Structure 1
Amino acid sequence: MCRFCCCTSSLYAQPHNRPAKHIFFIFLINRTGATCREQTTASVGPWEVVQRTLNGSQFYTYSICNVEEREQDNWLRTTFIQRHPLASRVFVELKFIVRDCNSFDGASLICKETFNLYTSESDADVGTTFRKSQFKKVATIAPDEITGKNEMHINTETRVVDGLSRKGFYLAFQDIGACIALLSVRVFYKTCPGTVQNLATFPETVAGAENQPLTEVSGVCVDNAASEELPRIYCTEEGKWAVQVGQCQCKPGYEEVKDTCQECRPGSFKAEASSDACEPCPANTDTLEHGAVLCACKDGFFRAPTDPSTGPCSGPPSAPRDLSAVPQPSVGRLILSWTPPEDTGGRNDITYSVECQRCDGVVCHPCGERVRYEPASMKLTEARVSVSELEAHLNYTFIVEAHSGVSQLAGEAQRPPSRSNVTIFLHYTGETSTSLALSWDVSPRPRPQLNIRYKLTYHKKDDNLDKTTYTVLTLDKNSAQIKDLAPGTAYLFRVQALGSDDNSEGSRMEEHFETLTEGTEQNPCTSFTSFMQMYGCFYLFIPFFFVFRKRNSHTRQGPEDTYFSTPEQLKPLKTYVDPHTYEDPNVAVLKFATEIHPSHITKQKVIGAGEFGEVYRGILKAPGRKEVAVAIKTLKPGYTEKQRQDFLSEASIMGQFSHQNIIRLEGVVTKFKHAMIVTEYMENGALDRYLRDHDGEISSFQLVGMLRGIAAGMKYLSDMSYVHRDLAARNILVNNNMECKVSDFGLSRVLEDDPEGTYTTSGGKIPIRWTAPEAIAYRKFTSASDVWSFGIVMWEVMAFGERPYWDMSNHEVMKAINEAFRLPAPMDCPSAVYQLMLQCWLQDRAKRPRFGDIVSLLDKLLRSPESLKTIADFDPRVSIRLPSTSGSDGSPFRSVSEWLESIKMSQYSENFTCAGIVTMEQVLQMKTEDIKNIGVRLPGHLKRIAYSILGLKDQTSTLSVFAV
């Protein structure tokens, strides 16, 4: 019998908002207990409002329980639900209770434990008018837990209603003979919330429908930011923002601070629009303004025309030091040399100039062009010059100055007035075969209050430099009688003026004088004349300019010093240490893991079982830290010491890793009876199961993003010289943000230091379907074999958790691989992704890409979503191992349910039955629209069934008929 109840007053709408989602409507059971008006004449009561008590609280439900009569057809319809103009896809969340049919005596054969959800679109409210033919089935709703006589279980199920286009719609619930209590119905649609990303503001956007997985949204740069191209971002069908295109950057004089652009503070600047922070003003510069684009030079410091405007400022160099002159009379020239300035002013473009003056008494004139310099007199880069063409009987003064790129800017006025300008006139006043009388003059004369002393140093000119004996005299007068010299020997004399604190006050003057040979005493004047003629008859007046400045010792921080944000990124990558190398494994655990007191851990629920014991979801509340959800691995009772060490060795491994795509170790419990390993909690569990549960619901773009995270984690492990050996989707965990993290390090081992970088096992199980051929054959593992395994993980992800190589045995898998067989492209797999898989499966491991290459390629694909639209060739017979006309034993399928079970789509058996499709002949006549109309909505399921029908027909040429 068909019964219908239109509930116009007992369900009401209430807006509701949550982060990342906008609830469209929420329907709750009205507590007024209003009844529904029956629209048909039936002898048995339809849906009705029932008051119930749960845990001492009363609540109302829409209930029906006609389980003893056959062919029940009772309907409950909502009021008109207005649709947001952009929301073509809505979600229906149901909370309900279903009674166990076995709890009814004698009614179990006709009792049902499911009910159906229908929808109907309309542009106006039709009131109580109801026509069953206007409704389309959305899904059959089955409980996860049924309610017995003495217990009550509330179920929550969410279904998608897609393709909505009219102004509103109705929902209806069909009972076909179950005992049901409907608690609440919540209807909502998803939006990407308004956000600021990379300094661009994006408005709240309604998520796209199934046929529009990515919605492009344009943004606007925040104040004081700009972008070369319009910032854009994609809103996924799940209400999450994807990759942004076109990044905004803070303008010159502004830096990014918490999604805003703020002015640079005084003492800092930023010259260009970029994502960099403001930099401290470079050396010898400063700014007192906010929002500075450049820093001005401090007084006395300058920038050369060729210097960058963002660079430091510099001052002129101090004077050259230790000027000396060495005559070479045999070739008629003089060699001048000096030491570079003590203070270069912060520059490395130092050059020198040499100026020559002829002095006659107290009057000096430029030497003119006759004097020759080698290599030149200006722009010398070496602290040495050769001077020739000097005239006899003249006094010469040579002035050497240091220059840099800012010397001209500094000018003479910038030189400090306290410079020292001391000239020493060195000559001898007499000689014998064993003595020399010397005297010297100082020009200009020292200030009366300055107590000038002199340091006289001499040694034999021709002595070996390594064995030279120096004689040093400190004198208060400007003359000296040097005795006990060797006859006929040349000596090199050096005179240096000293201040009152024995520091140099001027230049050092060097000259050569020679004693007479025995028996050749001469008149002093004759001797002096001969010397002057021999050396070209000149004096050296060599003034030096000493410039003393207090230098700023601040070192400018380069932009590369502030690029990374965390200490982990700044320090060099460490190398993994195998905990098995420790004689005492407990030492390794304490070294790499944090000890947790068990009182800080609260177990909540068993979520799995590992090799050593149960795995719990729980809470960690450590002192000084906020409460976090964790996964807790336990060690089962009765363990051996070896099992305990093996159990804790995984913690010793995980504790060495710190990466966002590697499962994070929170700590261990080792000092108490029950050992535990505590890790971060991943809400969505293992990747393979997560993919199977969401088959067809995740876009290719999102799948590639998940693969990118796995590859980044594996690159980190590879860089640490670490081989995982058991990389598979079952060992990847997924959190609420669909972020993937590598876990399960039970088979992992460190790379040896040999050039091959291999690890040889001593036996044990190898996961054949995920393992590279060289690792299977020789039990040698490398990062290249992990790359092979990553290729298998890529296939698992793109195939939504399908088992690699399907139902082939391990022996068949190894044989096929050795015969160059490779897994075919999964359904709807982007061609670029499948080509990367094939590269990972190259027989020659040296030719496989490295994980760094894989990360780079996946990044490129994510930056260009258009590149994912080209789909790899797909053969349904090979790619999803679909049967053609028969089951695994070769016999034809006997029923529709047997066929659906063979392709793992048995959940749709009731849909086919309700639609009257009960024979395989009817199945073969179905089109894609027919499959949709019976309630198959998920894209992946729709394609699997369509491709299976194609395989049954054995007509691969008609593939386009079933294209979705």
Structure 2
Amino acid sequence: MDSRWATTELAWTTFPESGWEEVSGYDDSMSPIRTYQVCNVRQPNQNNWLRTDFIPRRSVLRVYVELKFSVRDCASIPNIPGSCKETFNLFYYESDGDTATDASPLFRENPYVKVDTVAPDESFSLLEAGRINTKVRSFGPLSRGGFYLAFQDLGACMSLISVRVFFKKCSTTIANFAVFPETATGAEATSLVIAPGACVSNAMEVSVPLKLYCNGDGEWMVPVGSCTCIAGFEPSGESTQCQACSPGTFKSKYGEGSCSPCPPNSRASTRGVNVCPCLVGFSRADSDPPDNACTTIPSPPQNVISSVNETSLSLEWDEPVDAGGRSDLVYNVVCKKCAHERAACTRCDDNVDVAPRRLGLRQRKVVVRNLLAHTRYSFEVQAVNGVSGKAAAAPRYSTVNITTNQAAPSAVPTVHLMKSTADTLSLSWLPPEKPNGVILDYEIKYYERGQGMSHTVTAQHSSAKVEGLRASTPYVVQVRARTVAGYGRYSDPQKSVQDQLPLIVGSATAGLVVIVALVVMAVVCLKKQHSGSELEYTEKLQQYISPGMKVYIDPFTYEDPNEAVHEFAKEIDISCVKIEEVIGAGEFGEVCRGRLKQASRREAVVAIKTLKAGYTERQRRDFLAEASIMGQFDHPNVIRLEGVLTRSCPVLIITEFMENGALDSFLRLNDGRFTMTQLVGMLRGIAAGMKYLADMNYVHRDLAARNILVNSNLVCKGGKIPIRWTAPEAIAFRKFTTASDVWSYGIVMWEVVSYGERPYWDMSNQDVMTAVEQDYRLPPPMDCPMVLHQLMLECWVKERNLRPKFCRIVGTLDKLLRNAASLKVVTSNQCGKSPDESSEEIVRQQMSQTLPIRV
């Protein structure tokens, strides 16, 4: 609604009739408009109402009203009573339809809802022209079919020049190849309304969900998810559309790349292709990417040379003239045995050895062994590449025909005694290094040492048992192999027994016990040496630790975690502990409040953590590991461990009691009750505790207001991978360091100054990660000193090595506490706006710098 464009009387409802009066007037550009005036200042107890016609809501949740008006200065009106006003009130009334009458609803604050008391920036006197004021007010959330506006005059001399009613929206936009519809703003000025998106034509989702946030000013922010052009389509129209690749071009993958010309030996005759088909006679391997050129099979190998040595063969060859346009050329050697010249050749059996292998050769040389003597063979040397299996034609090859010579096997290298009894020897041996054919059997020759008469037996395999021997008699044994070419040489008799001694029947196991004893002694010696080296290493390590310096020790480095508990935590007798009430639930069991009374110490209120019944050994270890960690710390801003009870049931951990509980809930319960100096004092305590932990080389990993406890003196203490508090490198790469703790500390600062507000409000974790990656940072909370927000931003620097150390943070906060005046310079004052408006403006400025989506 805009009253400036009214061409006839507005005829709004007035009460009483002697109050507001509709008159014709002129706007700033001297165009005729309809206005309402009232000036009953000389009459006391004025209560004049003016109500607009019904205004349909159109599903809008929050509306804005722009008022142009002028007000006369009461001081410029002579002889008036003290009831003269220079302000008026704005109201609204919701209804499902245009049901209002002259008398209903009653003209009073209830049922009308007051929006604001409107005052002019400038009033005018009788001696000067009227000065027009412009004010904008908003209200919501609206839920019914429409509403009326009402204006209440309590004794002013004024003119309501124009009324404009409007709402804000985020217009339809395209971002990251996704279309987001027109979206009205939310019910509150700070609301973020989620608009779901849909990929443009010929685009696909690459990250989901697709959504944009529409803020209260009708501006898009924090895009989440994205689309990209599918294969065969490229971006166009300033990256808002995806158009098909033209004929002769292609795009093989989805993404924002452009179409490319078809590779050699391929052609695309249609639009929108993701691969160019190969020309006839050319192919791509299955592993070839679509942007590779199409290739063909290689020509045959050249100049194959063969060299026969008895039943062995050497083959060498040169590269093909044409490798087919590929670099993955390999060779296959196919062996075929031919019975005679006119008979068909058949594949060689597996006994034929081709070294280094038969298929997939990179080198151009092989050696073939174990061929049959006096046999004709044919060898094919094939040249193949990645498309040989794709082509219709068989691989191209060169052939060489050879005939082997006669050759007996070489000597058996070594004979081993496996076992002996009173009259037998169990033997084994290795085959000949050069069998020169298939070994048919082995001959074993044996005789008594010093005797000339020998005996022989045969064996089909490389082991045998010789029986019928005389006990306690030394024997000499020799073995030889036989092929179709005959027997090979006997094994050397001097090498047929261990340590160059003859085999003695019945005495081969004599050394077994000695060997076992040596093994046991070796193990004992190793353990002693290992123990000594650990002691020596520990002594050396102590040389590098400065006197008085204390370093955190991970309890899980102990072989037995119970040792860590007993070293770092004090064992308390069960009679000293009294549990009073359950105050919460922990990860491993209940958390209670109780009392601890120890000899020569005053009774103290303590927190008691219990390990629930039915725990596993791992749960017990993890539960006590917390005590092993806490027991190593001694600092005013770190929770103090009183001790543990490991010999009782249940197992207990006793810590100091913090009366005010978790910091985040404590701040929310006391919103606005502390001075900025008190808040900075809390922050200083947290930073001091973190500096102490950092100096001990301990990384907290989970620093957040919910993990900080507050005692009755407002002292904050830290106890033990939430996305909103975690540094980007810790989320992406699990890189937890003191620098990532500094990032989390910056979030804690924001929580403290905002009195426990949830970081990033109602944004999802995925949206938070996306926004932070795009350099969005939290704006300053309401009434936040500039120096504190600047320190937060330093903690959130993306490059972790540039973030401040905790020692510098403590020093900075100490300076602020000594110079309290620096805490009075607030970010909102700098911008000249209310705190809420300032925060929103900073958000908009940041988002406009990092996200180029402003509609």
Q: Please tell me the TM-score bracket, short chain as reference.
A: 0.3 to 0.5
Q: Give the structure-1-normalised TM-score.
A: 0.38
